[in-house]
Amino acid sequence: MADPARAQRMAKRISSIVASSIAHDIKDPRLAHVTITDAKVTNDLHDATVFYTVMGESIDSEPDYDAAAAGLAKATGILRSKVGAGTGVRFTPTLSFVLDTVPDAARHMEELVARARANDEFVARQAREARPAGDPDPYRNMDDDTGDDGGTDGADGPRE
């Protein structure tokens, strides 16, 4: 029987095992800047997808995604055996690694929000400086000098 709660617990456990193994056990320099962000496990607990991000060596340097993917592909067998030993399940799930796009999507969303705020400020500034076109009061008032009250001549007065 498929148990989504058990799959979520297993995914969290796999994520922590893989992250600690990369940090302490695997000595591949290509994995030095890899961070495990999340893991998803199928409900039958046979397949696990591990999401990761890669940081650059410095804040200005571009991350090497290809080297990190190659390092993870090479270390998949070792990581799977660590997961099997750490979880104690009968069938150790297969591991597949996927580059996490959430940080890039979040950065893009922040840029869109900043652009929207700038546009809102521009529109608000234009609205503050705007002057109405035409007469300040284009509608007739009851107090006009012409004597025309804008009403009817009495023929269409109220009916009883």
What's the confidence (pLDDT) of residue 110?
A: 93
Cβ-based burial of 106 (10 A; exposed 0-12, middle 13-18, buried ≥19): exposed
User: Distance (Å, rounded) from C-alpha 39 to C-alpha 37?
Assistant: 7
User: Distance (Å, rounded) from C-alpha 86 to C-alpha 96?
Assistant: 18
pTM of the model: 0.66
Task: Assign domain 4-99 to a CATH class.
Answer: alpha beta
User: Distance (Å, rounded) from C-alpha 64 to C-alpha 33?
Assistant: 9
What's the confidence (pLDDT) of residue 132?
A: 73
Token pair 């090497």: residue: 64
| Per-residue model confidence as pLDDT tens digits over 93-126 | 999 999 988 878 888 999 999 999 999 999 999 9
What's the confidence (pLDDT) of residue 20?
A: 94
Sequence ranges of the domains in the chain: 4-99, 101-130
What's the confidence (pLDDT) of residue 34?
A: 93
CB atoms within 10 A of CB 15: 21
H or E segment and range at residue 90: none
Instruction: Give one DSSP letter per residue of 92-133, joined into a string.
Output: PPEEEEEE--HHHHHHHHHHHHHHHHHHHHHHHHHHHH---S
What's the confidence (pLDDT) of residue 130?
A: 83
User: Distance (Å, rounded) from C-alpha 117 to C-alpha 103?
Assistant: 21
3-state secondary structure of 38: strand
What's the confidence (pLDDT) of residue 143?
A: 67
What's the confidence (pLDDT) of residue 114?
A: 94
Q: Mean pLDDT per segment of 10 residues, for the chain of length 160 residues?
A: 82 95 92 93 93 87 90 94 91 93 86 94 89 73 59 54
